[in-house]
Structure 1
Amino acid sequence: MASSSTKKVFSLLSCDWIGFDLDHTLIRYRLLDLHKLIYESMREYLIDTYEYNCDFLPISYNDHFSVKGLIYDINIALHGVNRHLTNEQIKEIYPDALKDIEEDTSKRFLCMFTYFDHSISYLIGNIVDLIDQKILYRNSSKNEIDLENKYRFFLTHLNKGSEYLFYDFNRGNYFSSLRLNPDKYIYKRLDVPQWLEKLKKLNKKLFLATNSSFNNTDLLTRYAFGDDWKDLFDLIIVVCKKPSFFSNSKKRSFHRFIDENTTIPVNNEDIIKDFNKNYIYSFGSSEDLHFIMSQISKKDPLVIYFGDHIKSDINALKCYTNWLAGVVIEELEFDSPPIIIHRTSHHLSNRLSINDQSYNKGNRSKYFSSFFTSPTDSFIFDDDNTNQTKSEQTEPDAVLPSLTSYWYAYITKHAHLSLSCLSVLANHFDLDHQFEHDQQTQHFVIMHQNNK
């Protein structure tokens, strides 16, 4: 074991700016109820809009089917809900799965990255089965299955459904259900705002950067944190369009938010000048934001950003910025990465969910293996050729042990630290706590240990 003088450590107090995503990071959902709401809303949309067969598309959501991180192969779709591939078949069809998926440019693979995709994967599985049985549409429908794009054409229907249900705060069953009954879908999180206030008292600058609209952000945070939630942050950015917010592929200037229909373009100097006025902003880019932070801090700041989306938050952030990436993986509450098993014990770190069986039930699958482990060979990551400044902060890529799942390998490559919930930091660690790198993966896994 390396001596204490050579161990790599990390502390939040070393950061000048600390940023957060909204959904599944600052806001924590009651997942089983959320999954049912999304499934039922999308099912109803497909039946009403595209005349899907309501007699065969299951009415009830199967909370034991999905797991976060499922990958749908658009070209083959070898199984839906009722047919399963063996591990041997998977190895034969995808001999180099990591490379095939990560380097795919044909959009062959659809990855279910978030809990919002969770119940959609169950819909996709059932739709594939109905396509194979040639009973996707109701008998009276004139719609026909597109045989040339047999397992791809219906994704357009799902995309249209997502736009209808999730992109307009005043339309559809999803947002109306959240407005009418927020306690059914969202946890109150009084420990997190208290933790944020402690960080601010230590002169840490805090920012929120989310793809959500202001109305949705206000609804969620007002319920979870209280009416004064905006006072917790030094900068608030909504509709920031990640991952292009990080990649600058469609660089947008910041706009000052007035209301959902009115924004005013502003430049970086305007934001710096008005920093203490607590304006809300939209769009923008991480490049401009870093410049703004450097001017306010009067130095090149060390920045960490916490998010849950493996691609939009973590991968894009590492590839295009020199910020540190913290990924929130709720599965850490009931499952362990392979490097942690038998070495440390942990419990459900978020006290809200210790006795909440619906939370655990909504995350476990009887169809798919663990989010962290799978019966495959070791994954080996090569150097990603990031520039010197970025590689100094992101650390070398890793050789991970056998039984490591694709997504755990991916997270270990792109994120600097992972934790199950912000409540772990809020409740179990002092603000100046120094976390040690795992010596094998060069990655911080923050887990709360039971006292024995």
Structure 2
Amino acid sequence: MFRTLAKRHYYTAEGRRIVGILRRKYEQKKLEHLNTSGQVKTNDKHGIGYTSPNEVFINNELNLSKIKVYGFDYDYTLANYTDNLSHTIYDSLKDIMVDVLRYPKQIKGFTFDPNFAIRGLHYDVNNGWLMKIDNMANIQLYTVHVGREPIKDINEIIEFHKGRHIPPDYLRENMYQLSDLFSTPQATLLSDIVQYFRDHDMSFHPRYLSDDISYAAAVLHTGNHGIGGTLHKKVMKDMSTYLERSPKLVGYLENLRKKGKKTFLLTNSTLSFIDKGMSYLTSSDDWMDLFDCVIVSARKPEFYRSCRPFRRATEPTWDRVEKFEPGQVYQGGNMKDFSRLTGWSGQNILYFGDHVFSDLADATTQQGWHTGAIIHELAKEIEIRNQPAYRHTLSWLLRLENLLNEAQTWRKEYRIEDLDHLILEWREERRQVRLELKTAFNHSFGSVFRTYQNPSFFANKIRKFADIYMSNVTNLERVSQDYVFYPNRTYLPHEQLIETLIDSGKIREYL
């Protein structure tokens, strides 16, 4: 008995000694961390960790000398829109919801909040939840909103899904992703209407609301007058309000052609809309000379899979198209005929677009095209990540997680209350630091590209379907056309230790 008590006393004392060591180590690292906060210059563009927003980022090896043909989408690829467009989409959707679908007239008094929604969110049509999920279809907790309010009781979410994971069948049948920038004002209005109904105790089914918003968006974007709906009409009336000129665009496209590359424009938008926009962007009515082939009203992604024939877009025609003629614009069509008529196919094509599913997924998986994603939010997120305050907070998170790993390792031997309390204390601090990093990008949903530790669902699709990605297509103008993009080696968890030592040269210290 005496030996047992002595052993237990020693065990407890040794455990407390370990806790003391861990706490002192924490205080030392915290002090070191705080001392570094004033050492980084606020605007040091050559500091450690600085990333240029004008870079091209690589997912897959890509040899530009093998690329013979460059293709481009229009909206948010060649054409960059101002923030005014999102405000107009939101206001126009309000009008359709009230005037056409008979929603409460008070909705017209809503004001668009550009800081609420981000691209890549998922909407749950059964619960009315708007959320961000990661690359493994796990819910990022503290991003789930019903209306404009976050769900604070995470157990409600976990109980519904029996955990944080969303099964593939549920994801496919009951959720849809907001994949492009046009959808962010749509998501905001949907959330605002859900909030209004909840505030006024009005019964509703979230699927009805999402279906009605989708219908309103279809009316707004497509219309039935051949120019793409009421949104296109508004943009065409005041180009300078909605379109950002791109001084480098014409030079980039001309340089491609001077180097012997073929170019084409493949867009879902209509000729009237494209003609007006490209004339404004290039300051020339001869913008079609920048392309060997122009295809409008393509209906991507059906374009990649359908058998719909091409027809001329500039005049009423009913005969089949047997060849693409210079100076002509074509509409509709399908991938098989496109390849037959142009002779372009496979991996000698590099196609750029902003929408993962409409532009890129089928192009790369079904046709073997190389693809580039244009993601305008990327520039802003890089600027945030370059801020010393963000990098400083991130460095503390990494240090804290290392301390937690060490504490948990000791817990295998010393399961004492003091050590349990220390781990809980550090886990809570970790949660607070991660929330701070999240809200640096967006208060409600965080980064477009990342959950707390994993890539977001959206970012994972970019990694899967885009060889390269960038904030603007003209970022490529500084890259030679025989350049080979080599991606960084991706370490699996079981590879990381030894391969990091090899890469850093530190392996020599152990040999």
| TM-score in terms of structure 2 length | 0.65
Structure-to-structure mapping, 1:400-415, within 5 angstroms: 402-415=453-466
Q: CA RMSD in A?
A: 3.2
Question: How far 1:305 moved relative to its partner?
Answer: 0.8
The equivalent of 2:220 in structure 1 is 165
Query: Is 1:368 aligned to 2:408, yes or no?
Result: no
Match of 1:100 in 2: 168
Q: 1:257 to 1:8 in 2, by over 3 A?
A: closer
Gaps of 5+ in 1: 1-6, 137-144, 346-362, 376-401, 443-452
Counterparts of 1:110 and 1:411 in 2: how far apart (Å)? 17
Give the match for residue 295 of structure 2. Answer: 237
Partner of 1:142: none
Instruction: Mark the CA change 1:229 to 1:56 in structure 2 (over 3 Å): closer, same or farther.
Output: closer
| Residues 96 and 59 of structure 1, relative CA distance in 2, 3 Å threshold | closer
SS at match of 1:304: strand
Contact 1:70 1:112 in 2 (8 A): yes
**1:34 maps to which residue?**
85
Task: Assess, with a 3 A threshold, how the Cα gap between structure 1 residues 93 and 287 changes in structure 2: closer, same or farther.
Answer: farther
CA distance in structure 2 between the aligned counterparts of 1:57 and 1:327, rounded to whole angstroms: 35
CA distance in 2 between partners of 1:293 and 1:203 (Å): 15
Q: Hey, which bits of structure 1, 4+ residues long, moved more than 4 A?
A: 86-99, 169-173, 339-342
Gapped runs of 5+ residues in structure 2?
1-58, 130-144, 392-439, 493-511
Q: CA 1:112 to 1:105, structure 2 compared with 1: closer, same or farther past 3 Å?
A: closer
- Residue 326 in structure 1 maps to residue 357 in structure 2: no
Deviation at 1:304, TM superposition (A): 1.3
Q: Compute the displacement of 1:49 (Å).
A: 1.6
SS in 1 for 2:454: coil
Q: Is the 8 A contact 1:67 1:364 kept in 2?
A: no
Aligned in 2, Cα 1:16/1:75: closer, same or farther, shift over 3 Å? same
Compared with structure 1, are the counterparts of its residues 131 and 316 closer, same or farther at alpha carbon in structure 2 (3 Å cutoff)?
A: farther
Q: Are 2:128 and 2:207, in contact at CA under 8 Å, matched by a contact in 1?
A: no
Counterpart residue identity of residue 217, structure 1: I
SS of 1:258's equivalent in the other structure is coil
Out of 66-75 and 122-131, give the one that drifted further: 122-131
Question: Quick one: distance in 2 between partners of 1:264 and 1:305?
Answer: 29
Equivalent residue in structure 2 for 1:206, among 263, 287, 291: 263
Going from structure 1 to structure 2, the CA distance change for 1:279 and 1:155 (only over 3 Å counts) comes to: same
Structure 2 match to 1:257: 313
Equivalence for 2:206: 151
Q: 1:182-331 maps to which residues of 2 (within 5 A)?
A: 182-225=239-282, 226-246=284-304, 248=305, 250-259=306-315, 262-267=316-321, 270-271=322-323, 274-275=324-325, 277-294=326-343, 302-331=348-377
Q: Using the alignment, how far apart are the partners of 2:227 and 2:464 within structure 1? A: 39
SS of the aligned residue for 2:359 comes to: helix
Do residues 77 (structure 1) and 125 (structure 2) align? no
Contact 2:61–2:467 under 8 Å retained in 1: no
Deviation of residue 418 (structure 1)? 1.0
Which structure's residues are more often helix, by fraction? Answer: 2
What is the CA-CA distance between 1:57 and the residue it aligns to?
5.7
Q: For the Cα contact (< 8 Å) 2:222–2:229, is it kept in 1? A: no
Secondary structure of 1:333's aligned partner: helix
> Which residue pairs with 1:127 in the alignment?
193
Q: Deviations over 1:286-313 (max 9, x none)?
A: 222223332xx6x976111111101111
Moved more, 117-126 or 311-320: 311-320
Mark the structure with the bigger radius of gyration: 2
What TM-score does the superposition give when structure 1 sets the normalisation length? Answer: 0.72
Higher relative contact order (CA 8 A, sep 6+): 2
Tell me by how many angstroms 1:98 deviates: 6.8
Query: Residues 441 and 236 (structure 1 numbering): CA distance in 2 closer, same or farther, change over 3 Å?
Result: farther
CA distance in structure 1 between the partners assigned to 2:446 and 2:338 by the alignment: 40
Q: Which moved more, 1:227-236 or 1:407-416?
A: 407-416
With over 3 angstroms needed to count, the CA separation of the structure-2 counterparts of 1:56 and 1:235, relative to structure 1, is closer
Question: Which residues in structure 2 correspond to 1:370-385 (within 5 Å)?
Answer: 370-375=447-452
